[in-house]
Amino acid sequence: MKVCKAVFPAAGLGTRFLPATKAQPKEMLPLVDKPIIQYGVEEALAAGCDQIIMVTGRGKTAIEDHFDTSFELERILEEKKKTDLLKVVRQISDMIHLAYVRQKEALGLGHAVLTARELVGNEPFAVLLADDVIDAETPVLKQMMRVFEQVQCSVVATQIVEGAAISAYGVLDVKPVEGHFGGRLYEVLNMVEKPKFEDAPSNLAIIGRYILTPAIFDILTKTGTGAGGELQLTDGLRGLLKKEKMYAYVYEGRRHDTGDKLGFLKATVEFALKREDLGGPLREYLRGLKLD
Ligand code: G1P
């Protein structure tokens, strides 16, 4: 079974970034010069998904416009012979087949995934949380596809999170799978959404990349509200575990939580430092700052 569809829950209100997100979606905030969500979409494409499903809500039309053809802009760039920029702009709209579905109320991540049910159908699919931008030599979803090809069960991305910060995540209880994927693969035994530090079953946090079997949909319809009064994907996955095996994969890459202000700033600096056109001058500027 091949994974062709990638779901992007993007209906959140972005309250952590107010007032910047009052009139624009948080997914459109730029990391250097590219909206956050485009990093995720490019990752999904690189992993072989050619159908992108965005779960949006009120006030998210900028996302649709971003991935659409911009006739006027393209014409102006053409007339001004700005071929490099024209290429950048066209690449985005030529990229993919996109479908949008509206999540009318922000009822949780599990609910967002369930909203995509009709567009996904009865096939395995990926879920990417665009806030988690992961800088990796091999895109993380592609790493996970390799695992899925072998195990043919749901796979979640995971990373070690030390200390009390673990309480901000879904947390896994696992057992190692020896001899596969260089010790990076675990079988999932249980999971809990945002536990207290003392109740966390391990220090392995779920990170926003999932490959799921379609059995999750039925289970989500029967899952009650959980942490924060929302329908949690983690609770649905725990239900799925009762029916199917599931694996967790410790990906290779550097993750930035761009849903957090400090995480966003760090990602901006690190991505800019890697850029050919900006890295040098930015490094010089940073060196010149009197930090004490
Ligand atoms: C969501 C999930 C959580 C996961 C996290 C990863 O939480 O509910 O299980 O660990 O994404 O970023 P959120 O960050 O949306 O509160």
Handedness of CA 51, 56, 60, 61 (dihedral sign): positive
Residue with the larger pLDDT of the pair 89 and 35: 35
CA-based nearest residue to 130, from 67, 221, 181, 179: 67
Residue 249 · residue 147 · CB < 8 Å: yes
Q: Mean per-residue pLDDT for 8-30?
A: 91
Domains and CATH numbers, the chain: 5-259 (3.90.550.10)
Give the position, in ligand 1's atom list, of the atom nearest the Cα of 259.
Answer: 14
pTM of the model: 0.94
Task: Give pLDDT tens digits for 41-60.
Answer: 999 999 999 999 999 998 88
CA of 207 to the centre of ligand 1 (A): 7
Question: Which residues, other chains included, contact 38 with Cβ-Cβ below 8 Å and sequence gap of 6+?
Answer: 66, 92
Name the residue with tokens 């990417």.
128
Q: Mean per-residue pLDDT for 32-38?
A: 96
Give the position, in ligand 1's atom list, of the atom nearest the Cα of 257.
Answer: 12
CA of 77 to the centre of ligand 1 (A): 40
Q: Residue 30: is the preceding peptide bond cis (ω within 30°)?
A: no
Q: Mean per-residue pLDDT for 225-229?
A: 92
CA-based nearest residue to 21, from 276, 257, 266, 259: 259
CA of 199 to the centre of ligand 1 (A): 17
What pLDDT shows up at residue 41?
Answer: 94
162-188 burial, b at 16+ Cβ within 10 Å, e below that, comes to eeeebbebbbbebeebeeebeebbbeb
Ligand 1 cavity residues, CB under 6 Å = 109, 129, 132, 169-170, 193, 205-208, 232-234
Give the position, in ligand 1's atom list, of the atom nearest the Cα of 234.
Answer: 9
What pLDDT shows up at residue 12?
Answer: 85
Task: Give pLDDT tens digits for 98-145.
Answer: 899 999 988 999 999 999 999 999 999 999 999 999 999 999 999 999
Residue 189 · residue 202 · CB < 8 Å: no
Q: Strand, coil or helix: what is 185?
A: strand
CA of 169 to the centre of ligand 1 (A): 5
Give the position, in ligand 1's atom list, of the atom nearest the Cα of 131.
Answer: 12
> Is 89 a residue whose pLDDT tops 80?
no
